[in-house]
Amino acid sequence: MENRWNSGIHSRELKEQICEIGRRVYNKGFAAANDGNISIRVGENEVLCSPTMICKGFMTPDDICAVDLEGNQIAGKKKRTSEILLHLTIMKERPDVKAVVHCHPPHATAFAVAREPIPQCVLPEVEVFMGEVPMAPYETPGGQAFADTVLPFLKATNTLILTNHGTVTFGKDLQDAYWKTEILDAYCRILLLAKQLGRVTYFSEGETRELLDLKQKLGFDDPRFHVEDCDLCGNSAFRDGYKEQLPQQCAFEEAPKYPGYLQGNNTPPPEQLEELVTSITNQVVAALGQN
């Protein structure tokens, strides 16, 4: 799907894109009945969005409405969704974000209901393309207080769990935003299936650092690049955003604790450096003894 920035609130193509994402969300079981909402920014102060009380699988372009960045409806026959304030808060805080998808994918929402942090250091694609998924605190949906719950977590993530509610994903266009929802729910499903088999196994520290190196080379940001003392697999890179207690793993075995990863600083910690020097010294001595 082409990102048609500045194409205006009357663009039928963009309205059709919203309807297409709505069908995908509905057909995937990510939004039952009237659940979920979708938006795309089309100008400096204009956003197209799905209306309230409509099934996302059966929307037509004529159903789509438009609001300004303060949430005032400026076009459309149907009333805009009350949860558009969540979308607008994200867009105002992150000018690079052009589209937002909010829905209730069942496997990811199960983590939201259990208030269980999503384990890291398990799948390569998730580490590189998604990273840690913060969990915004619960607030009654619809108002600005609800929208503001995501503010502490918006830096360096495009994927959020809304506690006891669902998920919100965002990106450069509608397809980008939707794909993050699909990836997140597929990952959560894999985690739950693995748990049924027995346990989830985590990457080693070396494997994790290799994936972070790859992520850095690909140009993706990650809060672990900037937080010196975070645990690489410990859901702690966003800990400063939590006013309440940092979510703790209960259903899954605790992730291993690896020291933080600073961008451009891949020097092993002192204890590992000492072990490496000792190992190399022993190898050299052994080789000399054979000569």
Per annotation, catalytic residue among 16, 44, 70, 83: 83
- Retrieve residue 129's tokens: 């393309």
- Retrieve residue 284's tokens: 């050299």
The answer to whether 212 and 226 are in contact (CB under 8 A) is no
Please confirm, yes or no, whether 83 is among the known catalytic residues: yes
Three state DSSP letters for the chain: CCCCCCCCCCCHHHHHHHHHHHHHHHHCCCCCCCCCEEEEEEECCEEEECECCCCHHHCCHHHCEEECCCCCEEECCCCECCCHHHHHHHHHHCCCCCEEEEECCHHHHHHHHHCCCCCCCCCHHHHHHCCCCCEECCCCCCCHHHHHCCHHHCCCCCEEEECCCEEEEEECCHHHHHHHHHHHHHHHHHHHHHHHHCCCCCCCHHHHHHHHHHHHHCCCCCHHHCCCCCCCCCCCCCHHHCCCCCCCCCCCCCCCCCCCCECCECCCCHHHHHHHHHHHHHHHHHHHHCC
Which residues are known catalytic residues? Answer: 83
